[in-house]
Each structure stands twice: as C-alpha cells, then as structure tokens.
C-alpha cells in the first residue's frame, strides 16, 4: 500500500498454524484423540499479537495497548490485552496465530447510508457547480426522484450488482457493520426490493447490515400534491415489510423539501406501534425542530443537524439520542453552517460519524474518509472521529455488542497498516486496512 509504505514500512502479516504444535501426548490413540478434542474446544480460534490496540474501552482516550494481543472464539472476543499478559504460550492458545505490527481498532460502524441505489447523479454535481442548489434540483423533479426512477427501473439483481461495489469499498476501508436505508423506491414493491437487496448484501459480504425504512424520503409523482395520502400509504406498507424481517428501524426526511413534522410524527407513531426504533434526517437544511422531535420518540439518532438549536441539543441529551454527523454531505453540498458542535460537547451528546453514502449529497465510499472530513470540516479530534465511527455509531443503531474491543463483544476488528490512531484521520485515501474481520472471520 503506497501511502503507508512511503511513510513507514510495515512488516507483512505472518500467519502460523498453531494446531501442528499442540504438545504430543504419549498415550493410546484413543486417549490422544480425546485429549486433542478437549484442547481444541478450549483453544481460541485466532490470536493476533504484536499490534498496538486502540480498544476505545475507556471513557476518554484511545484505550491504547502497545504490543497487544487480541483473541477470538466463536465470533466473540476472548482476550484483549497486553501480549506479555497472555495466559500461556501463544502456540498453545489458539488454532491460528497472526504476528503483526500496525494498529488494531474495533470494526467501523457506518450508521447512516443509502448505499443501495441505481445510476448516479454526477450531472447534478455539475449543475450545482454551475450554481444550482440541491433544493432547486429537487423541486425541478431531479434529486432523490431521479434516483427513484433509476431504482424502479432496475431488477433486484441489477440493484444488487450496482450496489455491491459500494459495499465492497466500504468494507475494504474497515466497515464491519453497515446501515442501509430504503427511500428510493417509494412504493411497496420497490421499497421491498431495496430492503431485500440490503439484506442480500449483508449475507454476501458476511457483514452485519442493519436496514432502515425511509419511505418518507420524497413524494413520488403518483402522489403529487398529496403528501398526507402518501404517508398513509407508506404507513400501510410498513407492517408487511416488518413481518418479512426487512426493517430494523424507521427514518424520515423532515425538511421543507421532504416531510413536515406532523407527517414525520405519523410515521414514527406507526414505527412505535410495531416496536421499531426511529432515527431522523433532522435540521439538515433548515430548523424544523427535527432533533427534538426524534428525541421525543426516544430516537436512536438525529442525523445531519446542521441547523439544530440548543433546545434540540438538550432534548437529545435528555433522551440519549446520538448526533450523527455527516460531513460528506456537508462537503459535497459546500455547506457553511456547521452542526452545533460546541453545544453537543457541552451537553455531552454522543457524536457518531457516518458516510451517508448516497448518489446525491454524499457519493462517499469510505467511512475513514468521512472521519477525515469530520476532523477537517467539523474540527473533531481524531479520537472523537474514531469513537464516532465505532462506539457511537453502534449506539446510533442500538447495538451494544460492538464498537469497542472488549472480551465478550463481537470479534469485529480492523488491522490497519499504520501505527498511530490519528493516522486514520490523517491520510486521505490510500486504503489502509490490512485485514477486516467481522465475527472473527476475515472479510477483506
């Protein structure tokens, strides 16, 4: 990998099959077999040693462990600590040994994406560079509706093929948990198609994909002038999609060019009736009180929030709602209004960072790059950005079994070809991940 090699060459990852080195037992063949079976069940599946660990398992700081060791068994972390404190000879502890330098962090959690779509909107990018605004384009029937036309015209297989390279890119740069929203179908069959493709992508890549129902994203042409009627219809589709196991959460675009707070509440009431958590595209282009609205429903997160007021931030604090920062959209739309970062810090609202991967506002294929943008545009510290893309990203999805390196949590981790955690936010591009593990299995 060019960038890191130029900076500081890393020794190649060495693997060793430790199974061959189980101490021999002088006994009958049967006794040996019984003994080996017993040893095998106790041994860890894998043990990685020598790297610096950024566990994030501390209220502040990276939770850094130099010359660390990380072991996993049955998809769960079984040891996280100093190599020197391993409870025995490494050779006898695990079936597979990995000797490596570099850095190990929790797997990245991308808690806000629209990664399933067809086509692209590069022409809108050109239009915006000529002076058109995102709202102008949306009101003229482009924007989200242009992607709706492309998604409706794509078969399920086409949609999978179009989306898979994006998921592959996110995974290659460290993502082990990925949220994907619907919202470019806007009718029952096409919303279902999107959610089915999202689930298929998770299976295909062996990572956890969390799905969010975002039918309240834009008003489809067949409901023109009847946003309330459309919300009624979208509320009607939800129980069936939920019954098919396709929905983990419900979202809406609460905005002048999206849906009103009253319409958003109706959608959230339907989610609540099914026991589904909510999250919201809130206060991105104007302050409609979206962050407070989401918090009133105990929302997992309020996302974008560039225009959120202090009252909104305090409502988030009281409800434990995570602030999801989406610097990719801020960057691509050349926004100038920053999210209320000082207020979020002052009120100790957890801040997540996500890619918002989508064809309109954030054609961004790396969560690590989103972390970089969060530092440069929002002045997050690299530690805040890393925590935002791991611990707080997991919280924004309601997941407590990941996001830090700790015994008993999922064995989702990334082995990076850099030594210092801040380098993850420092390098632009380049692909720094050497190994991406989800549930203890290497997936990239």
Query: Which residue stretch of 154-162, 352-360, 396-404, 416-424 sits at the interface with ligand NIG (rule: CB under 6 A)?
Result: 352-360
In the list 211, 212, 361, 391, the residue contacting ligand NIG (rule: CB under 6 A) is: 361
Rounded least distance, CB 98 to Fe ion, Å: 36
Rounded least distance, CB 41 to ligand NIG, Å: 47
Rounded least distance, CB 255 to Fe ion, Å: 11
* Cα distance between residue 280 and residue 103, in whole Å: 34
Q: Is 251 in the site for ligand NIG (CB under 6 A)?
A: no
Q: Which of 341, 296, 356 is nearest to 321 (CA)?
A: 296
Contacts with ligand NIG, 391-430, as mask; x by CB under 6 A: ----------------------------------------
Q: Is 216 in the site for ligand NIG (CB under 6 A)?
A: no
- Among residues 18 and 167, whose Cβ is nearest to ligand NIG? 167
Task: Note the maximum CA span of the chain.
Answer: 83
Q: Is 355 in the site for ligand NIG (CB under 6 A)?
A: no
Q: Is 356 in the site for ligand NIG (CB under 6 A)?
A: yes
Distance of CA 380 to the CA centre of its chain: 18
In what side-by-side order are the strands of the sheet with 14-17?
14-17, 94-99, 44-49, 68-73, 76-82
The backbone torsions φ and ψ at residue 59, rounded to the nearest 5 degrees and listed phi first, read -60, -35
CB under 5 to 8 A by kind: which of ligand NIG, Fe ion, none does 237 bind? none
* Cα distance between residue 401 and residue 165, in whole Å: 27
CB under 5 to 8 A by kind: which of ligand NIG, Fe ion, none does 366 bind? none
Q: Are 315 and 308 in contact (CB under 8 A)?
A: no
Taking CA 219 as the corner, what is the angle to CA 352 and CA 187, rounded to the nearest 5 degrees? 90
CB under 5 to 8 A by kind: which of ligand NIG, Fe ion, none does 49 bind? none
- Among residues 191 and 356, whose Cβ is nearest to Fe ion? 356
* Cα distance between residue 68 and residue 47, in whole Å: 10
CB under 5 to 8 A by kind: which of Fe ion, ligand NIG, none does 144 bind? ligand NIG
Q: Are 79 and 47 in contact (CB under 8 A)?
A: yes
Q: Answer left, alpha or beta for residue 186, where phi above 0 means left and psi between -120 and 50 means alpha.
A: left
In the list 43, 73, 83, 114, the residue contacting ligand NIG (rule: CB under 6 A) is: 114
Cα-based torsion angle of the residue sequence 173, 203, 114, 168 in order, rounded to the nearest 10 degrees? 30
Q: Scan residues 292-351 and list those touching ligand NIG (CB under 6 A).
A: 329
Beta-strand relationship, 208-216 and 76-82: unpaired
CB under 5 to 8 A by kind: which of ligand NIG, Fe ion, none does 403 bind? none
CB under 5 to 8 A by kind: which of Fe ion, ligand NIG, none does 370 bind? none
CB under 5 to 8 A by kind: which of Fe ion, ligand NIG, none does 284 bind? ligand NIG
CB under 5 to 8 A by kind: which of ligand NIG, Fe ion, none does 147 bind? ligand NIG
Helix residue spans in 308-415 (DSSP H): 310-319, 327-332, 341-346, 367-378, 382-388, 391-396
CB under 5 to 8 A by kind: which of Fe ion, ligand NIG, none does 430 bind? none
- Among residues 307 and 443, whose Cβ is nearest to ligand NIG? 307
Q: Is 79 in the site for ligand NIG (CB under 6 A)?
A: no
Burial class (CB in 10 A: 0-12, 13-18, 19+), 444: buried
Give the nearest residue (CB) to Fe ion: 356
* Cα distance between residue 189 and residue 106, in whole Å: 36
Q: Is 373 in the site for ligand NIG (CB under 6 A)?
A: no
Contacts with ligand NIG, 135-174, as mask; x by CB under 6 A: --------xx--x---------------------------
Rounded least distance, CB 140 to Fe ion, Å: 20
Determine how many CB atoms are found less than 10 A away from the CB of residue 406: 16
- Among residues 51 and 109, whose Cβ is nearest to ligand NIG? 109
Burial class (CB in 10 A: 0-12, 13-18, 19+), 293: buried
The residues of the shown chain that bind ligand NIG, judged by CB under 6 A, are: 114, 143-144, 147, 253, 281, 284, 329, 356, 358-362
């Amino acid at each position: 990998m060019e960038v890191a090699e130029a900076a500081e060459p890393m020794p190649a990852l060495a693997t060793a099959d430790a199974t061959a080195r189980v101490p021999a037992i002088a006994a009958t063949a049967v006794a040996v077999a019984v003994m080996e079976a017993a040893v095998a069940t106790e041994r860890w599946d894998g043990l990685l040693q020598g790297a610096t660990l950024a566990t994030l398992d501390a209220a502040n700081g990276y939770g850094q462990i130099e010359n660390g060791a990380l072991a996993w068994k049955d998809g769960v972390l079984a040891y996280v600590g100093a190599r020197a404190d391993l409870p025995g000879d490494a050779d006898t502890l695990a079936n597979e040994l990995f000797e490596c330098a570099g850095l190990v962090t929790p797997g990245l959690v991308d808690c806000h994406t629209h990664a399933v779509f067809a086509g692209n909107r590069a022409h809108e990018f050109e239009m915006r560079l000529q002076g058109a605004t995102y709202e102008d384009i949306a009101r003229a029937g482009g924007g989200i509706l242009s992607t709706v036309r492309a998604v409706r015209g794509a078969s399920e297989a086409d949609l999978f093929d179009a989306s898979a390279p994006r998921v592959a890119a996110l995974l290659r740069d460290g993502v082990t948990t990925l949220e994907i929203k619907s919202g470019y179908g806007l009718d029952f069959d096409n919303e279902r198609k999107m959610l089915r493709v999202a689930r298929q992508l998770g299976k295909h890549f062996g990572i956890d994909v969390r799905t969010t129902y975002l039918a309240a994203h834009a008003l489809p042409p067949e409901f023109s002038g009847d946003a309330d009627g459309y919300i009624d219809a979208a509320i009607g589709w939800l129980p069936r999609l939920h019954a098919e196991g396709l929905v983990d959460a419900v979202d809406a675009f609460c905005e002048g060019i999206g849906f009103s707070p009253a319409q958003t509440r109706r959608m959230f009431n339907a989610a609540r009736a099914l026991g589904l958590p909510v999250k919201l595209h809130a206060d991105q282009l104007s302050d409609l009180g979206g962050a407070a609205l989401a918090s009133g429903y105990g929302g997992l997160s309020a996302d974008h929030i560039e225009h959120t007021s202090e009252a909104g931030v305090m409502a988030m604090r009281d409800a434990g709602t995570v602030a999801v920062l989406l610097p990719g959209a801020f960057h691509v739309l050349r926004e100038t209004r920053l999210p209320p970062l000082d207020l979020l810090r002052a009120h100790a609202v957890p801040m997540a960072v996500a890619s918002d991967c989508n064809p309109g506002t954030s054609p961004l294929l790396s969560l690590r790059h989103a972390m970089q943008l969060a530092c440069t545009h929002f002045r997050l510290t690299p530690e805040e950005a890393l925590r935002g893309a791991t611990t707080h990203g997991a919280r924004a999805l309601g997941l407590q079994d990941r996001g830090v390196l700790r015994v008993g949590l999922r064995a989702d981790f990334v082995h990076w070809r850099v030594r210092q955690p801040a380098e993850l936010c420092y390098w632009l591009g380049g692909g720094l991940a050497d190994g991406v593990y989800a549930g203890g299995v290497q997936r990239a």
